[in-house]
Amino acid sequence: MLNVLFAGRPARWPEFELPLLEACRGAGLDVTISPEMPPEEVDYIVYAATGPVQDFTPYTRAKAVLNLWAGVEKVVGNPTLKIPLTRMVDEGLERGMVEWVTGHVLRHHLGMDRHIVNPDHIWHDHVPPLAPDRPVSILGLGTLGSACAASLVRLGFPVTGWSRSPKVLEGITCVSGPEGLDEALRTGEITVLLLPNTPATQNTINAETLARMPRGAVVINAGRGELIDDAALIAALDSGQLGHATLDVFREEPLPEEHPFWAHPRVTVTPHVAADTRPESASRVVAENIRRSEAGEELLYLVNRDAGY
């Protein structure tokens, strides 16, 4: 019998209880899963940064921490965490991100806002270019970024993808390093941010990088709020250098009511809904990793502590 602690946000336990139990049973595991159990009896921790566990020291028997989120920046540097940490990569997260990013890229490409909100009844007869004539850049080619890039390529968009290390992906112009970042910024009329939050990626979008973008470009951020210098973004919107910013993630969440993003006419705020963790698909990933651990196999999506993701 294995003891699995659900250390996510307590309000989500009712959503996860049955899917986790069914997924573990389906993987042939004999488990007890609960949000409360003595730390010294815990074998695996299903974790979210918003949950109750911040000190891992008492969990002397635990073999791994299985993160429920794709991002691990709030736990990866925890000095009490001495056991393997995995991040969440699952079909639900991927599909949700692909749908959200593709939807907003199409929204900006087609200029849909001018028709959806048109209180003065203006006859906007501007015809947008076709997808092959609208270059899109994606900063971050991890699992989610690569899936979004592939979706946009299928629609005909020319996609340039920038990553920290060189990659080769079919149909995508893959670039890396400082020169690659410059190419992605210069060419993307729509730039999508899907980078993790690490010391190397913070403020990737700043006054200097915004100035390299085509005038009137659009920024879509579904990665992390820390990727953007907020003040520089607002200045670029005010000057017209940036045409619009659609933002799903922020340095402080929920976004404070007084934050200028709320009132800016060229900013769209969505409440961190681009890719949520769905209990059914996420539970299958958790169960598979517990099965792998018990079988002595390599864990899926193991976090590189040095890289931060």
Start-to-end CA distance of the chain, whole Å, equals: 31
Q: Averaged over 232-238, what is the pLDDT?
A: 98
Q: What share of the chain in percent tops pLDDT 90?
A: 98
pLDDT attached to residue 271: 98
* Claim to verify: residue 127 and residue 231 sit in the same structural domain: yes
**307 within some domain:** no
Digit-coded pLDDT (tens) for 132-166: 999 999 999 999 999 999 999 999 999 999 999 99
How many domains does the chain contain in total? Answer: 2
**Do 134 and 262 fall into the same domain?**
yes
127 lies in the same domain as 233: yes
Is the per-residue pLDDT at 301 higher than 90?
yes
What is the per-residue pLDDT across 236-290, written as a single tens digit (0 to 9) for each? 999 999 999 999 999 999 999 999 999 999 999 999 999 999 999 999 999 999 9
Residue 286, in any domain of the structure: yes
Is 118 found in the same domain as 205?
yes
135 and 200 part of one domain: yes
Residue 159 shares a structural domain with residue 34: no
pLDDT in tens, 160-208: 999 999 999 999 999 999 999 999 999 999 999 999 999 999 999 999 9
Residue 300 is assigned to a structural domain of this protein: no
List alpha helices for the chain, DSSP H. 13-26, 91-110, 113-116, 143-154, 177-187, 207-212, 230-239, 260-263, 279-294
For 75, half-sphere exposure in the C-beta direction (CA atoms, 13 angstrom radius) is 32
Give the domain range for residue 106.
Answer: 91-269
Q: Which of 86, 78, 82 is nearest to 54 (CA)?
A: 78
Burial (CB count within 10 angstroms: exposed 0-12, middle 13-18, buried 19+), residue 56: buried
**Per-residue pLDDT reduced to its tens digit, 43-88:** 999 999 999 999 999 999 999 999 999 999 999 999 999 999 999 9
pLDDT > 70: percent of the chain: 100
| pLDDT exceeds cutoff 90 at 218 | yes
Q: 127 with 217, same domain? A: yes
- The C-alpha atoms of residue 221 and residue 152 are separated, in whole angstroms, by 16
Considering the chain, what is the average pLDDT of its residues?
A: 97
**Mean pLDDT of the 289-306 span:** 96
Kindly state whether residue 302 falls inside one of the protein's structural domains: no
CATH number at residue 102: 3.40.50.720
Residue 307 has pLDDT above 90, yes or no: no
Residues 144 and 159 in one domain: yes
Q: Copy the structure tokens of residue 46.
A: 């299903």
CA distances from 126 to 7, 123, 155, 214, 217 (A): 52, 9, 21, 20, 17
Q: Does 306 map to a domain?
A: no
The answer to whether residue 306 scores a pLDDT higher than 90 is no
Same structural domain, 98 and 226:
yes
Note whether 72 and 110 are same-domain residues.
no
Decide if 308 is inside a domain: no
Q: Domain for residue 153, yes or no?
A: yes
49 and 177 together in one domain = no
Looking at the structure, tell me whether residues 168 and 205 fall in a common domain. yes
Q: What is the pLDDT of residue 28?
A: 98
Task: Let me know: does 155 contact 131? Beta carbons within 8 Å.
Answer: yes
Residue 309 lies in a domain: no
- Number of other residues whose CB lies within 10 A of the CB of residue 20: 24
240: left (phi over 0), alpha (psi -120 to 50) or beta: left
Number of H helices, E strands in the chain: 9, 12
Task: Pull the structure tokens for residue 297.
Answer: 């196999």
Among all residues, which ones are annotated catalytic? 224, 272
